[in-house]
Amino acid sequence: MSERGARPVEWPTLGLLVLCYSGWILATTWLAEVALAPAIALLAVTAGLHASLSHEVIHGHPFRNRLLNAALVFPALSITVPYLRFAATHLAHHHDEILTDPYDDPETNFLDPAVWERLPSWRKVLLRLNNTLLGRILLGPLIGNAGFIALEAQLALRDPAVLRGWLWHVPALALVIWWLSAVATMPLWAFVLGTYLSHSLLKIRTFLEHQAHEKARARTVIIEDRGPLALLFLNNNFHVVHHMHPNRPWYDLPALYAKRKEHYLRRNEGYRYASYGEVFRRYLGRAKDPVPHPLWQPPGE
């Protein structure tokens, strides 16, 4: 089988897409009238799953046609992240040699130590809190989205591709706004809360996906979890497997890991956790890494 696989259509992914949209529609309509708290929870899970499915689409699933795949995740359920910008930044992130680089890796949380030293004290406190798992869950969506949008606004002024990505986001977001105003019965505050919580869930996945390490191959984690969070993240907890085989569908990753477990752990030099339970126990209230990159050397030094 090729790296893309022999499947012309990946039915498990299509099935999850149907469940995702069905759950989101249910949460914003009937369930919101019957039981608001479960509706908010279901909205958070389905919006988070939509982000995971968008990640699958970026890597060429479930069809071989790129435009058809993108159409499947067109509604902007995440609200703040344009699909085309997610695709561009995420594919840039997949250049393993730049992982954790404060400038070149679009998904890193590390800062250049020189930039860190110039920050005011209140921002340092905020970012230190954000470097604990609890802080990442509670504050991460706000800090992450604020930083992302501010940077994107600067880039859009000089890069037409960035501006195009945001312009395509307008109809995708308008579709969600229309639904909320014309069909949904969920209160706006509850929708905002549920969407925020969906970003919080995704921050659990990204919290320690990558570590600072001199070897690029050792920067990507394995979390041997097969529970609800692994399903929500579409097995991206087997993250080094995904980075080594980015075109394989989500449901192949656990078997790939099980078949060559020692190989992958040699590859990432044992950067591994047994489960998300272990991650919570170890880092809920404390930071795993410093905010300034501990190994950062400016180019040319």
Inside any domain, residue 261? no
Given this model, what pLDDT does residue 39 score?
A: 98
Rounded to whole angstroms, the Cα distance separating 42 from 194 reads 8
Buried b (16+ CB within 10 A) or exposed e, 166-179: bebbeebbeebeeb
**Does residue 158 lie within any of the structural domains?**
yes
Indicate whether 142 belongs to any domain: yes
Tell whether 32 is covered by a domain. yes
Structural domain contains residue 193: yes
Report whether 50 contacts 44 (CB < 8 A). Answer: no
Query: CA 12 from chain center: how many Å?
Result: 20
User: Could you read off the pLDDT tens digit of each residue along the chain, which spans 301 residues?
Assistant: 345 555 679 999 999 999 999 999 999 999 999 999 999 999 999 999 999 999 999 999 999 999 999 999 999 999 999 999 999 999 999 999 999 999 999 999 999 999 999 999 999 999 999 999 999 999 999 999 999 999 999 999 999 999 999 999 999 999 999 999 999 999 999 999 999 999 999 999 999 999 999 999 999 999 999 999 999 999 999 999 999 999 999 999 999 999 999 999 999 999 999 999 999 999 999 999 999 999 998 776 5
The Cα 148–Cα 142 span in angstroms is 10
pLDDT value at position 294? Answer: 96
Per-residue pLDDT, 287: 97
Q: What are phi and psi of 65, to 5 degrees?
A: -90, 120
Q: What is the pLDDT of residue 133?
A: 98
Q: Which domain holds residue 23?
A: 11-211
Q: Which residue has the tokens 């795949």?
A: 69
CA distances (Å), 43 to each of 29, 37, 49, 143, 198, in order? 11, 10, 10, 21, 8
pLDDT at 1: 39
Q: Could you tell me if residue 256 is inside a domain?
A: no
pLDDT of 150: 96
Residue 217 inside a domain? The answer is: no
CA 20 to chain CA mean position, Å: 16
The total domain count for the chain is 1
Structural domain includes residue 79? yes
Which segments of the chain are extended strands (E)? Answer: 222-223, 272-273
In the prediction, which pLDDT does 4 show?
52
